[in-house]
Chains A and B, each alone.
Chain A
Amino acid sequence: MSAMLEVRGLSVSYGGLRAVDGVSLEVRPGEIVSIIGMNGAGKTSILNAVSGILAPEGGEILFEGESIGGLPAYAVVARGIVQVPEGRLIFGTLSVEENLSVAAHQRSGFMLRRRDRPDLRRLFPALADKLDRPAAGLSGGEAQMLALARGLESGPRLLLLDEPSLGLSPKLSTEVFGLIRRLREQGITILLVEQNVRRTLALADRAYVLESGRITLHGSAAELMSDERLVSNYMGVSAPDSSNSD
């Protein structure tokens, strides 16, 4: 099966410091692929380069065979790649409905708003009842759900998720992981960056281990689960609520 997303020799630097150093990875249609690594390993930088927020210094990014490296972020979304950024970034002064309405922009009219949201009610029942509330008043879990729901409004074929369970209670984390599974069942391909290695490997098809900007290990989730070095390095120390990744 040919790759949906193909990253070849990607390098990203911040002010002379190389955050991502010659990373190659691929995501095939329908897969959940995960990037695992410590804080500062460069996971978010890879996502940001794919979604057009960071200009790659070197290497190629191909989406469905076409180069998207260096495209502006909005144009990458138009291709069907949507990133849900880390930290539950939502527009606090806007209502829940307004947060959602804008992303749907590409799929329907300019001035119109949609009132019925059957998809939302099915996947995010807690949000569907709070459409008129200001987003700033949502709880952490609801805010993460809103960030995910908003990402879905753009109609992604490839969803880039950056630490979706970060800072959430175990119960809410379970909900988020369950949701990711349902999204895959709907045919959305997912590239997932997570700190919660054990749960991520239980969910993902394949994973890449990133250390200091380089891929040091990759394979199927089952293979990695039984890799002694990975287990001792990450699962022993993986803190579910560490504050920041990059």
Chain B
Amino acid sequence: MDDYVITVLSNIAMISFIALSAYLLLITGEISFGQQAYFGLSAYAAGAATTMFALPIWAGILIGACVAGFVAMAVGALTLRLSGLYFSISTLAFAEMVRLILLIVQVQVEVDGEMVGPDGANGFHDIRWMFERNISLTEFMLFIYGLLALVLIALLLVERSRLGSVFRMLGSDDLLTEMQGLNTVRYRILAAGMAGAVAGVGGALYAHFTTYVEPQFFNVMLGVHALAYGLIGGLGTAFGPLIGVAIDVGFLEAVRFIQGYRMIVFGGLVAVLLIFMPRGILDEERVHRLKTLFSRWSHARAQGR
């Protein structure tokens, strides 16, 4: 595989984390325009861990995800009592605040005669953990997909669990959920923390894949795309947002003749889908039908033997 294909495939996987992050909030009924902040915070935190503190990459990812998760919970505790639109606006404001702060943060230390660390508007360069260890792009891509698979399995398990039902209840009727004896604010903060951590894993991987990050990458367009992926792919299962990412980053980027019109095609696609499939391709109803089909099929197979 050439490097371009590997880069596209890796991008699909890394963007999938932020798409899953936005999705997790979408199913609880919250629209966040700020998940890129957690992607970015974690990219910086993980980068700092492996460069400035010479920690291994798994520690960097863990630290990045924890930082993103805890900040998301703190922000959630402050903003989740706001209803709908006001919450969305506050997430946008927070994400822009994070981006602007990262533009001025300069904390560099000397490691092996070189200055490393966030360098304000110049970004954060030389996050070279992967290259210092001669890990090839292909190997790192497989590592990214391995982590994506783990996160996806974890989310699918959550969806099957009682916690997943609570999240979906929050998305359909807040008051009725409260009447089931569930502290809705607490569950929303938990969802925000989980979503922040998931975005964080993607951000940490991104920093190490590209070796440098700059605040400009974590602008609101990333967050808006993350939302759109779930809305395109569907809110019925965690596979939905992955389909959305594959359509945008995979298909639209790969098909050259759309190149200049990519945003137009993407925007049109979102608009058309929102009209005809308001909860995406794999919405709850289709997911249920697929599950029924699958269980019938496996039942028939088991009887055939």
Which residues of A pack against B, CB within 8 Å? 51, 53, 72-75, 77-78, 82-83, 85, 89, 91-95, 98-99, 101-103, 105-106, 110-113, 132, 134, 150, 154
Which secondary structure dominates where chain B touches chain A? helix
Alpha-carbon separation in the docked complex, A78 to B181 (Å) = 6
Smallest beta-carbon distance B181→chain A, Å: 3
In the complex, which residues of chain A have a beta carbon less than 8 angstroms from the beta carbon of B292? Answer: 132
Which residues of B pack against A, CB within 8 Å? 157, 160-163, 165-166, 168-169, 172-173, 175-184, 284-285, 288, 292
- Whether A111 lies near B162 (C-beta < 8 A) is yes
Cβ contacts A to B, 9 pairs, < 8 Å: A53-B178, A74-B182, A85-B176, A91-B176, A93-B285, A98-B165, A98-B168, A99-B165, A105-B182
Q: A98-B165, A154-B181 are in contact. List 11 more A-B contacts (CB 8 A).
A: A73-B179, A82-B181, A94-B165, A94-B172, A103-B180, A110-B162, A110-B163, A111-B162, A113-B160, A134-B285, A154-B180
In the complex, which residues of chain B have a beta carbon less than 8 angstroms from the beta carbon of A95? Answer: 288
- Whether B176 lies near A105 (C-beta < 8 A) is no
Q: Which of A51, A73, A98 has the most CB of B within 10 A?
A: A73
- Whether B184 lies near A74 (C-beta < 8 A) is yes
In the complex, which residues of chain A have a beta carbon less than 8 angstroms from the beta carbon of B165? Answer: 94, 98-99, 101-102
Q: A134 with B284: in contact, given A98-B165, A103-B180, A105-B181 (CB under 8 Å)?
A: yes
Smallest beta-carbon distance B172→chain A, Å: 5
Smallest beta-carbon distance A103→chain B, Å: 5
- Whether B172 lies near A73 (C-beta < 8 A) is no
Q: A105 with B180: in contact, given A94-B169, A98-B165, A111-B163 (CB under 8 Å)?
A: yes
In the complex, which residues of chain B have a beta carbon less than 8 angstroms from the beta carbon of A111? Answer: 157, 161-163
Alpha-carbon separation in the docked complex, A101 to B169 (Å) = 11
Q: A93 with B172: in contact, given A112-B162, A134-B284 (CB under 8 Å)?
A: yes
- Whether B176 lies near A74 (C-beta < 8 A) is no
- Whether A83 lies near B162 (C-beta < 8 A) is no
In the complex, which residues of chain B have a beta carbon less than 8 angstroms from the beta carbon of A75? Answer: 183
In the complex, which residues of chain B have a beta carbon less than 8 angstroms from the beta carbon of A112? Answer: 161-162
Smallest beta-carbon distance A160→chain B, Å: 10
Please name the 3 residue pairs, one residue from A and one from B, whose CB atoms are nearest each other, closest first. A77-B181, A98-B165, A111-B161
Smallest beta-carbon distance A88→chain B, Å: 11
- Whether B175 lies near A102 (C-beta < 8 A) is no
In the complex, which residues of chain A have a beta carbon less than 8 angstroms from the beta carbon of B181? Answer: 74, 77-78, 82, 103, 105-106, 154
- Whether B284 lies near A101 (C-beta < 8 A) is no
- Whether A53 lies near B179 (C-beta < 8 A) is yes
In the complex, which of the residues A77, A98, A110 contacts B179, with contact meaning CB atoms closer than 8 Å?
A: A77
In the complex, which of the residues B157, B168, B173, B178 contacts A73, with contact meaning CB atoms closer than 8 Å?
A: B178
In the complex, which residues of chain B have a beta carbon less than 8 angstroms from the beta carbon of A105? Answer: 162, 166, 180-182
In the complex, which residues of chain B have a beta carbon less than 8 angstroms from the beta carbon of A77? Answer: 179-181
- Whether B168 lies near A93 (C-beta < 8 A) is yes
- Whether A51 lies near B288 (C-beta < 8 A) is no
Smallest beta-carbon distance B65→chain A, Å: 20
- Whether A91 lies near B178 (C-beta < 8 A) is no
In the complex, which residues of chain A have a beta carbon less than 8 angstroms from the beta carbon of B176? Answer: 85, 89, 91
In the complex, which residues of chain A have a beta carbon less than 8 angstroms from the beta carbon of B177? Answer: 102
- Whether A73 lies near B175 (C-beta < 8 A) is yes
Alpha-carbon separation in the docked complex, A120 to B160 (Å) = 21
In the complex, which residues of chain A have a beta carbon less than 8 angstroms from the beta carbon of B284? Answer: 93, 134
Alpha-carbon separation in the docked complex, A93 to B28 (Å) = 13
Q: A74 with B183: in contact, given A102-B169, A134-B284 (CB under 8 Å)?
A: yes
In chain B, what residue has the closest Cβ to A133? Answer: B288
In the complex, which residues of chain A have a beta carbon less than 8 angstroms from the beta carbon of B161? Answer: 110-113
In the complex, which residues of chain A have a beta carbon less than 8 angstroms from the beta carbon of B157? Answer: 111
Smallest beta-carbon distance B62→chain A, Å: 22
